[in-house]
């Protein structure tokens, strides 16, 4: 069953077509990778899917239902969560506070939100830092916080935008493990990532975009061998 369907999605900023008639879908339980050169339109596509932008054209269906006019928070309550490429936790607030913000998508009771947040932090082996000021975290821990906050909304579909950027190799491996673990818990995952070995290892399928258009899709092995992909991206 498809959890997400993107049909003919187009997003223009003035004269610039950032996403151009994009079609793709994700099966429940899948990890779908999205790759492409800088400026290809990946983050813009995520913003359209997550309700941050209203697409110029096209349609997004989440859980069988068209998302038109649904705002990010509404979609979040429906089970669609995203992280941002630029991590923006409330810097002066604690880790726990930031994760509770996510948990309020599923409850309006403070005690319940706190309990859910603590559970997520435990799941991510992050509970020991719950009282840290978010602004003082290392990059790797800020990425972990971003995932914790998204996870606290209890998503069925999680969009991850470059959660591995800036991480050291060991930290990348750890993040790959976290993402696999989330999938094993039943979360469907749509992931943008530049670190090739990570996206190749993680994804069941990969969609490649260039200038907003899909140029290839298939298994990691198939896209890595695709001539258009090598020319546009992998060949650098």
- Binding to ligand ADP in span 42-71, by CB under 6 A: 42-44
Q: Left, alpha or beta for 140 (phi > 0: left; psi -120 to 50: alpha)?
A: alpha
Pairing label, strands 157-161, 188-192? parallel
Four-residue CA torsion sign, 73, 76, 80, 81: positive
Q: Which of 1, 15, 38, 111 binds ligand ADP (CB under 6 A)?
A: 38
Query: Residue 228's beta-bridge partner residues?
Result: none
Q: Which of 40, 121, 151, 164 binds ligand ADP (CB under 6 A)?
A: 40
Query: Residue 10's beta-bridge partner residues?
Result: 57
Interface with ligand ADP includes 15 (CB under 6 A)?
A: no
- Cβ distance to ligand ADP smaller for residue 120 or 150: 150
Q: Whole-number minimum distance, CB 13 to ligand ADP, in Å?
A: 3
| Chain position carrying tokens 């069941």 | 204
Segment near Mg ion (CB under 5 A), from 38-46, 128-136, 196-204, 210-218?
38-46
Segment near Mg ion (CB under 5 A), from 34-42, 88-96, 144-152, 206-214?
34-42
Contact 32, 160 (CB under 8 A): no
- Binding to Mg ion in span 48-107, by CB under 5 A: 85
């Amino acid at each position: 069953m498809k959890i997400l369907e993107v049909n003919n999605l187009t997003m223009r900023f003035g004269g610039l077509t950032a996403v151009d008639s994009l079609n793709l879908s994700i099966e429940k339980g899948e990890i779908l990778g999205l790759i492409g050169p800088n400026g290809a339109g990946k983050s813009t596509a995520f913003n359209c899917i997550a309700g941050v932008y209203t697409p110029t054209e096209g349609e997004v269906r989440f859980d069988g239902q068209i998302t038109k006019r649904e705002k990010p928070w509404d979609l979040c309550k429906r089970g669609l969560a995203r992280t941002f490429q630029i991590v923006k936790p409330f810097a002066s607030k604690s880790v726990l506070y930031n994760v509770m913000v996510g948990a309020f998508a599923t409850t309006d009771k403070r005690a319940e939100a706190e309990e859910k947040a603590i559970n997520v932090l435990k799941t991510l082996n992050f509970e020991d830092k719950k009282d840290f000021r978010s602004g003082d975290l290392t990059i790797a821990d800020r990425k972990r916080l971003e995932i914790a906050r998204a996870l606290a909304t209890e998503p069925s579909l999680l969009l991850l935008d470059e959660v591995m950027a800036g991480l050291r190799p060991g930290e990348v491996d750890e993040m790959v493990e976290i993402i696999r673990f989330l999938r094993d818990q039943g979360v469907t995952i749509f992931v943008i990532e530049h670190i090739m070995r990570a996206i190749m290892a993680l994804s069941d399928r990969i969609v490649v975009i260039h200038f907003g258009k899909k140029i290839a899709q298939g298994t990691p092995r198939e896209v890595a061998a695709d001539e258009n992909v090598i020319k546009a991206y992998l060949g650098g």
